[in-house]
Amino acid sequence: MPDLKLLLADLAAEGDSVDALVVPLAPGRWADPTPAEGWTIAHQIAHLAWTDAQASVAATDAAAFAGIVEEALADPGGYVEAGAREGAREEPARLLARWREGRRRMVDALAAVPPGTRLPWFGPPMSAASMATARLMETWAHGEDVADALGERRAPTSRLRHVAHIGVRTRDFAFRNRGLEPPAEEFRVVLRGPDGDEWAWGPPDARQSVTGPALDFCHAVTQRRHRAGLDLTATGPDADRWLDVAQAFAGPPGTGRGPSRG
């Protein structure tokens, strides 16, 4: 079982990493386009602020969150887009302040969740640790979009292990999300962390596997880079197919990024 306190510290640190990208920007730079079609830097931060706020409600008021889900079901894609679009209209300093306060409130709310509690979400209910992992994954992924927009590259950290973990755990979801039957057998996933250590999932004797740098795997499962530009090796036809459909985030199948971004 993951240590929730350490996981929340990593979640806070990931938010701070993205914060550091945008805090020096002049207001006009918040309108810079990012690789996500139609989304500026402001949209990216507004989306994170919006989703962090939903996570706080899920952790503190299940009845209120049920109302949010009911509203979202009327227009799932549009509901999320509306949150980003509305927030992107805010003055950048105000948006940044709101996101910072929301991050703090979310971490505090997750820390207070009683052990064993399952939190409601737009998909299946999850533990506080799983919620924190999902929020870290999304914060990192949208941070990559912001960094790309600014022409920067963030140094990978050990926090990528959380992103990789959710990428492995969502294997079957990724197949079903494309209308495909998930493979019956487990895969072995062996990744090289930023510090050179080995991170592994699945049985050592699995016939199919994926290996490579953790950063590349995380870019694949969050669809932030095209597979053609990643140093990942798939052994076995199902593992190879997985790298084409991998998706660690909820929602309909993503369109990914073109080979030119590899």
What are the tens digits of pLDDT across the range 56-82? 999 999 999 999 998 888 887 688 888
Question: In this model, does residue 261 exceed pLDDT 50?
Answer: no
CATH 1.20.120.450 for domain 4-122 = yes
Q: Do 4-122 and 159-245 agree at the fold level?
A: no
Q: How high is the pLDDT of residue 163?
A: 98
The residue extents of the domains of the chain are 4-122, 159-245
Extract the runs of DSSP E, i.e. beta strands, from the chain.
Answer: 188-192, 198-201, 209-213, 233-235
Per-residue pLDDT tens for 16-48?
A: 999 999 999 999 999 999 999 999 999 999 999
CB-count exposure of residue 143 (10 Å: 0-12, 13-18, 19+): buried
Question: In this model, does residue 258 exceed pLDDT 80?
Answer: no
Q: Report yes or no: 2 and 129 within 8 Å, Cβ to Cβ.
A: yes
Per-residue pLDDT tens for 193-223?
A: 999 999 999 999 999 999 999 999 999 999 9
Strand partners, 70: none
The pTM for the full model equals 0.94
- Give every CB contact of residue 196 below 8 A, 6+ residues apart in sequence: none
Name the token pair of 188: 């072995």
Question: In this model, does residue 99 exceed pLDDT 70?
Answer: yes
Q: Report yes or no: 205 and 224 within 8 Å, Cβ to Cβ.
A: no
Q: Please state which CATH class domain 159-245 belongs to.
A: alpha beta
Beta strand pairing call for 209-213 and 233-235: antiparallel
Kindly state the DSSP code that residue 208 receives in the 8-state scheme.
Answer: S
